[in-house]
Amino acid sequence: MQIENLIGKDDLIVVTGGGGFIGGHLVFDLVQRGYKRVRAVDIKPIADWNQVFPGVENTQGDLQEREACDRAARGARFVFNLAADMGGMGFIETHKAECMLSVLINTNMLLAAKKHGVERFFFSSSACVYAAGKQTDANVTPLKEGDAYPAMPEDGYGWEKLFSERMCRHFREDFGLQTRVARYHNVYGPHGTFDGGREKAPAAICRKVIAAKMTRSRSIEIWGDGEQTRSFMYVDDCLYGTKRLMASDVVDPLNLGSDELVSINQLVDIVEGVAGIKLQRIYKLDAPKGVRGRNSDNTLIKAMLGWVPSIALKDGMEKTYRWIYDEMHKSIDQRRQVYR
């Protein structure tokens, strides 16, 4: 089933984390498809949102608080719960307690959805729920949904996501709230964070390569030895899969990620190719680097939804690089104007 067959154009749709990266893209997609009643909620001041769209009910609120969740869910028929305190590995390895506190968002949003009779509730989980012992080799066996148990997820952020998955399950079983859960694998693309400490590897590498070109530096710092492996999913695939899962009858958590496995060194190769530059690599071996290898097994999503993420990493990284390049140059131009 497509989402257009499930959600009417006049239904109220709530997107939490609507001022963030994936949430902003989802709000834009819904607006572009003619949905007239979209409520976007985020803790950040609206001026700081990644994207803001006219005609959307843009609301600032701290969803760790029950009252804010109650306001967010009031009158809604469908909720996409994307809100979380998170970032790249440099953030989640050093802010474990803050990441864990996102459990308040998910608890209170589920309670509010139950209270207001929300018809369907989507929760964005993460590949960080997978057991660390299955991710010790760069040549990793792709992770199947069942590999989350016995549980030993990423400390902090991963535990919070796994616990929230279970809450979704039990709210469905005990209260009849229809929940859908996707385990996102490293989503990237334009309009995302690329500096400040919360950025993920694709955006960070783009920023470093662009900065090297701008300053005529001949080197790039890489966290770890560069041989750790990941798969990265372009945001357009994430949106399509999210909507397909929301409209489906699949109630158990489902991988949503590319299975195109690359090392961080190979990711740098791709960005260097887009930039037309070759840099000396300086490896920071004591930097946060996460598990040794992680990849998505897409057997189940193909069987359940008849679809898998398919946008090639090179194509997605080129679009991401171009956007970050423009943003960095725009920032320089603005600073020059200030000092004139």
pLDDT digits over 144-188, tens only? 999 999 999 999 999 999 999 999 999 999 999 999 999 999 999
- Asked if residue 227 lies in contact with residue 264, where contact means CB atoms within 8 angstroms, the answer is yes
Report how far residue 11's alpha carbon sits from residue 35's, in angstroms, rounded to the nearest whole number. Answer: 8
The angle subtended at Cα 114 by Cα 111 and Cα 115, nearest 5°, is: 85
> Which tokens in the block code for residue 65?
């608080």
pLDDT for res 87: 80
Task: Kindly report the pTM of this predicted structure.
Answer: 0.95
Residue for token digits 């459990």?
A: 103
Report how far residue 107's alpha carbon sits from residue 279's, in angstroms, rounded to the nearest whole number. Answer: 46
Query: Does residue 283 carry a pLDDT above 70?
Result: yes
- Could you read off the pLDDT of 54-113 as tens digits, one per residue? 999 999 999 999 999 999 999 999 999 999 988 877 888 889 999 999 999 999 999 999
Per the residue annotation, which of 157, 184, 188, 234 is the catalytic one? 157
> Which tokens in the block code for residue 206?
């783009």
Q: What is the CA radius of gyration of the chain?
A: 20
> What is the full DSSP assignment across 22-66?
HHHHHHHHHHHTT--EEEEEESS-GGG-S---TTSEEEE--TTSH
Reply yes or no on whether 157 is catalytic.
yes
H or E element in which residue 131 lies: none
Q: Sorting pLDDT into bands at 50, 70 and 90, what band is 281?
A: very high
Report how far residue 187's alpha carbon sits from residue 126's, in angstroms, rounded to the nearest whole number. Answer: 10
User: CB-based contacts of 122: which residues, under 8 Å, 6+ apart?
Assistant: 78, 79, 80, 81, 179, 180, 181, 182, 242, 245, 246
- Asked if residue 288 lies in contact with residue 89, where contact means CB atoms within 8 angstroms, the answer is yes
Q: What is the mean pLDDT of residues 261-285?
A: 97
> What is the full DSSP assignment across 252-320?
S-EEES---EEEHHHHHHHHHHHHT---EEEEETTS----SB--B--HHHHHHHS------HHHHHHHH
Q: Sorting pLDDT into bands at 50, 70 and 90, what band is 332?
A: low
With 0-12 CB in 10 A as exposed, 13-18 as middle and 19+ as buried, what is 215?
exposed
pLDDT for res 86: 83
> Residue 137: phi, psi to the nearest 5?
-120, 135
All domains of the chain in start order, with CATH: 3-188+233-256 (3.40.50.720)
- Asked if residue 158 lies in contact with residue 129, where contact means CB atoms within 8 angstroms, the answer is yes
Mean pLDDT in the chain? 95
> Which tokens in the block code for residue 315?
């194509």
- In eight-state DSSP terms, residue 128 is G
pLDDT for res 91: 87
Q: What is the mean pLDDT of residues 329-333?
A: 76
> What is the full DSSP assignment across 54-76?
TTSEEEE--TTSHHHHHHHHTT-
- Asked if residue 74 lies in contact with residue 49, where contact means CB atoms within 8 angstroms, the answer is no
pLDDT for res 337: 57
